[in-house]
């Protein structure tokens, strides 16, 4: 069962009551006015003799209408007021019948108008209540008149002589049947109208929601949407299209697409799309460049689809523009990366092939050195050649390590113990000075799943760089802790910090610290920090460099605690 909202119901009843009050005044004024005119011209009329009672009825209706208006304005009990007015109408009609002859009055049809009003305003319940009220009042009036209890104005002296009681009963019964039948029919139509009105309002609400949803979707999509009618004029231009072309929809609405979008020029393939292209409902795609008002070229991908109705008739075209400038730029970058990857593979292959001749050259130099006479110049030259060969060999090894990193061998280990072992091993090497001091700060135990050998190599390179940055004196700090806020909250990472008390990074070194072949050392290869970055990224970690507030440089590593 469909029910209307209480607020809507009260508003409907109130508006109908206002119409009823206006119609009541008009009908009563016309009927009684006409009755007075007729009775004024005739000494005796079918309606009865003119009486002061008629004027009293008109005044009563006007006064009651004034009271209704006041009550309707200040009272919120609209349904109660409706019943009150309809009951008054029943009594008023009874009084009118009384004043126009009683049984002889022709105004009993006004009861039906009252019943119809009750059905329209208060639906079936109101119609039946008013029909019952009218039946009681009309039957009571006719019975009292018949037996002489009351004497209506303008009525005959005696009715028992004119009518039989059975005939009077038939008159009352026929009118009662008519009253209830009118109440049923009018309330049936009223109920159907109310049901249709509620359903229509619900459908209107759904339609408004659907329209708002469609508008929100059209305004929210990032692709430019342009809809053309059968003549090629623009009938829809969404905000994304406004952003792409830099034109407001109000400036292009109703205009031909070729005139409204001159930036497209002849690249718009509308004429090339024939009817056969639309028969299979597949869109037509095309890519083209389009200059913006600033002179910069951007790439657009256009798909053209038919605008079809439910019957299959084509009534226009749907144009969807996608800005694929970033996609094109990414494709160009990928081509460059692919080219660099090929060059990298070639360079790695060449470097690998160079190692064998370098080993032969180094061995040959050692044999020549033993066979030559002891000469300071020759010996020094041989030492230079041997040292440079070893340097080239070391550079090639570093390059191969950077170009072809080893596959990670993941295992679980104690990170603190690994740091201590790596630090102890470095302190016993030739890179460590007696005036350098190491400080460690990390939790015990700190279990980590990663590649311990590659991590040792990373620590060795960082210790070596820190030692060279400090010279013969300084402090080396190594710390490790669990980090839960980086790189994203809730993900456990191990944070390793290696810092020194040297001069720190300058701006150029800080921006290119991990760039291959960039170095601030006189005889450095520039691959040490690049290899460190490559290893850490291979272990699914992150690395960053910076300067410490107390002086010196620092390198921060983030490694996942579990194998990813």
Instruction: Look up residue 256 and give its DSSP letter.
Output: B
Find out whether 117 and 20 touch, Cβ atoms under 8 Å. yes
Residue 49: pLDDT band (50, 70, 90) is: very low
Domain region containing 271: 221-323
Whether pLDDT at 133 is above 70? yes
| Number of alpha carbons in the 13 Å side-chain half-sphere of residue 153 | 18
Count how many domains the chain has: 4
Residue owning tokens 């272990």: 539
Whether pLDDT at 157 is above 70? no
Chain-centre distance for alpha carbon 277: 34
Listing DSSP states for 473-542 in one string gives SEEEEEEEEEESSSSSTT--EEEEEEEESS----HHHHHSTTSTT--SSSS--S-HHHHHHHHHHHTT-E
The answer on 313 and 350 residing in a single domain is: no
Could you tell me what percent of the chain has a pLDDT over 90?
Answer: 0
The answer on 368 and 334 residing in a single domain is: yes
CA 434 → CA 428, 437, 471, 502, distances in Å? 10, 8, 11, 16
Whether pLDDT at 68 is above 80? no
User: What pLDDT does residue 2 have?
Assistant: 44
The answer on 393 and 318 residing in a single domain is: no
Six token digits for residue 478:
């190594």
Residue 532: pLDDT band (50, 70, 90) is: confident
**pLDDT 10s digits, 446-461:** 888 888 888 888 888 8
Q: Please compute the mean of the pLDDT values over residues 99-110 and round it to a whole number.
A: 80
Whether pLDDT at 18 is above 70? yes
Find out whether 456 and 426 touch, Cβ atoms under 8 Å. no
Q: Does residue 359 belong to any structural domain of this protein? A: yes
Q: Does residue 211 belong to any structural domain of this protein? A: no
User: What pLDDT does residue 224 have?
Assistant: 85
Q: Tell me phi and psi for residue 492, to 5 degrees.
A: -80, 125
SS3 278: helix
Chain-centre distance for alpha carbon 252: 27
Give the domain-ending residue among 289, 323, 357: 323
Find out whether 239 and 252 touch, Cβ atoms under 8 Å. no
Whether pLDDT at 108 is above 60? yes
The answer on 190 and 170 residing in a single domain is: yes
Find out whether 531 and 397 touch, Cβ atoms under 8 Å. no
User: What pLDDT does residue 1 have?
Assistant: 41
For residue 255, give the CATH number of its domain: 3.30.450.20
User: What pLDDT does residue 524 have?
Assistant: 55
User: What pLDDT does residue 255 have?
Assistant: 85
User: What pLDDT does residue 103 have?
Assistant: 80
Buried b (16+ CB within 10 A) or exposed e, 300-337: bbbebbbbeeeeeeeebbbbbbbbeeeeeeeeeeeeee
Quick one: CA torsion of 459, 462, 468, 472, rounded to 10 degrees?
A: -50
pLDDT averaged over every residue in the chain:
76
Report the run of H or E that residue 170 belongs to, with start and end. Answer: helix 165-220
Residue of 433, 464, 553 lying closest to 502 (CA atoms): 553
The answer on 316 and 265 residing in a single domain is: yes
Six token digits for residue 540:
């699914």
Whether pLDDT at 564 is above 50? no
Residue 314: pLDDT band (50, 70, 90) is: low
Q: Does residue 103 belong to any structural domain of this protein? A: yes
Find out whether 132 and 114 touch, Cβ atoms under 8 Å. no
Chain-centre distance for alpha carbon 11: 36
Q: Does residue 214 belong to any structural domain of this protein? A: no
User: What pLDDT does residue 370 have?
Assistant: 66
Residue 13: pLDDT band (50, 70, 90) is: confident
Q: Does residue 207 belong to any structural domain of this protein? A: no
The answer on 54 and 134 residing in a single domain is: yes
The answer on 353 and 249 residing in a single domain is: no
Residue of 356, 564, 538 lying closest to 458 (CA atoms): 538
The answer on 526 and 423 residing in a single domain is: yes
- Strand extents, DSSP E, 60-118: none
Q: Does residue 210 belong to any structural domain of this protein? A: no
CA R_g for the chain: 51
Cα–Cα distance measured from residue 416 to residue 405, given in angstroms and rounded to the nearest whole number = 25
**pLDDT 10s digits, 210-228:** 888 888 888 888 888 888 8
Q: Among 66-80, 216-230, 386-400, 476-490, name the one with the lowest average pLDDT.
A: 386-400
> Of 26-35, 292-301, 364-373, 420-429, which has the strongest mean pLDDT?
420-429
Six token digits for residue 390:
């070893």
User: What pLDDT does residue 277 have?
Assistant: 45
Residue 371: pLDDT band (50, 70, 90) is: low
User: What pLDDT does residue 533 have?
Assistant: 82
User: What pLDDT does residue 275 have?
Assistant: 45
Residue 201: pLDDT band (50, 70, 90) is: confident
371 or 47: which leads in pLDDT: 371
Give the domain-ending residue among 354, 374, 403: 403
User: What pLDDT does residue 511 have?
Assistant: 67
The answer on 170 and 23 residing in a single domain is: yes
As a residue count, the chain comes to 564
The answer on 447 and 379 residing in a single domain is: no
Cα–Cα distance measured from residue 478 to residue 480, given in angstroms and rounded to the nearest whole number = 7
The answer on 380 and 289 residing in a single domain is: no
**pLDDT 10s digits, 537-552:** 888 888 888 888 888 8
Count CB atoms within 10 A of the CB of residue 75.
10
Q: Does residue 463 belong to any structural domain of this protein? A: yes
Give the domain-ending residue among 323, 340, 363: 323
Q: Does residue 215 belong to any structural domain of this protein? A: no
For residue 475, give the CATH number of its domain: 3.30.565.10
Cα–Cα distance measured from residue 535 to residue 514, given in angstroms and rounded to the nearest whole number = 12
Six token digits for residue 260:
């409204």
Q: Among 207-211, 338-342, 359-363, 492-496, name the one with the lowest average pLDDT.
A: 338-342
Residue 533 CB burial class (10 angstroms; 0-12, 13-18, ≥19): buried
Residue 276: pLDDT band (50, 70, 90) is: very low
The answer on 422 and 514 residing in a single domain is: yes
């Amino acid at each position: 069962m469909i029910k209307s909202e209480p607020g809507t119901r009260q508003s409907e009843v109130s508006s109908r009551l206002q119409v009823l009050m206006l119609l009541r005044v008009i009908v009563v004024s016309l009927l009684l006015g006409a009755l007075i005119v007729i009775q004024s011209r005739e000494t005796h009329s079918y309606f009865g003799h003119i009486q002061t009672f008629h004027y009293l009825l008109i005044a009563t209706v006007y006064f009651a209408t004034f009271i209704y208006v006041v009550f309707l304005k200040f009272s919120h009990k609209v349904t109660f007021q409706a019943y009150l007015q309809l009951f008054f109408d029943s009594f008023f009609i009874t009084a009118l019948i009384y004043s126009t002859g009683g049984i002889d009055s022709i105004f009993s049809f006004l009861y039906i108008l009252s019943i119809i009003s009750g059905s329209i305003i208060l639906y079936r319940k109101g119609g039946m209540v008013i029909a019952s009220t009218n039946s009681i009042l009309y039957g009571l009036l006719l019975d009292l008149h018949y037996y002489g209890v009351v004497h209506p104005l303008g009525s005959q002296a005696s009715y028992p002589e004119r009518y039989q009681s059975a005939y009077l009963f038939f008159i009352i019964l026929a009118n009662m049947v008519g009253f209830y039948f009118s109440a049923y029919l009018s309330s049936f139509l009223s109920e159907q109208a109310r049901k249709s009105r509620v359903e229509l309002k619900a459908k209107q609400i759904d339609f408004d929601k659907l329209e708002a949803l469609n508008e929100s979707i059209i305004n929210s999509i990032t692709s430019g949407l342009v809809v053309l009618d059968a003549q090629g004029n623009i009938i829809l231009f969404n905000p994304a299209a406004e952003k792409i072309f830099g034109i407001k929809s109000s400036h292009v609405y109703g205009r031909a697409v070729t005139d409204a979008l001159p930036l497209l020029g002849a690249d718009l393939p509308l004429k090339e799309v024939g009817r056969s292209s639309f028969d299979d409902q597949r869109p037509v795609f095309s890519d083209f460049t389009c200059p913006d008002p600033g002179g910069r070229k951007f790439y657009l991908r256009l798909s053209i689809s038919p605008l079809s109705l439910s019957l299959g008739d084509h009534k226009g075209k749907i144009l969807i523009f996608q800005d694929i400038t970033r996609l094109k730029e990414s494709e160009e970058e990928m081509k460059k990366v692919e080219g660099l990857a090929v060059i990298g593979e070639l360079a790695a292959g060449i470097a690998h092939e160079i190692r064998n001749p370098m080993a032969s050259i180094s061995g040959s130099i050692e044999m020549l050195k033993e066979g030559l006479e002891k000469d300071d110049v020759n010996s020094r030259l041989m030492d230079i050649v041997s040292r440079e060969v070893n340097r080239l060999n070391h550079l090639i090894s570093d390059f191969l390590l950077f170009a072809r990193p080893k596959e990670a061998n993941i295992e679980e280990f104690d990170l603190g113990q690994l740091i201590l072992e790596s630090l102890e091993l470095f302190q016993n090497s030739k890179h460590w000075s007696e005036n350098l001091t190491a400080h460690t700060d990390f939790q015990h135990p700190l279990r980590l799943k990663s590649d311990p050998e590659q991590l040792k190599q990373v620590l060795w390179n960082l210790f070596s760089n820190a030692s060279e940055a400090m010279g013969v004196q300084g402090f080396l700090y190594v710390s490790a802790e669990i980090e839960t806020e980086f790189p994203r909250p809730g993900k456990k990472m191990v944070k390793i910090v290696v810092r020194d008390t040297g001069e720190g990074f300058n701006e150029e070194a800080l921006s290119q610290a991990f760039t291959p072949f960039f170095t601030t050392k006189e005889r450095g290869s520039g691959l040490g920090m690049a290899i460190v970055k490559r290893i850490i990224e291979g272990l699914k970690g992150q690395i960053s460099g910076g300067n410490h507030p107390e002086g010196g440089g620092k390198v921060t590593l983030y490694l996942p605690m579990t194998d990813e």
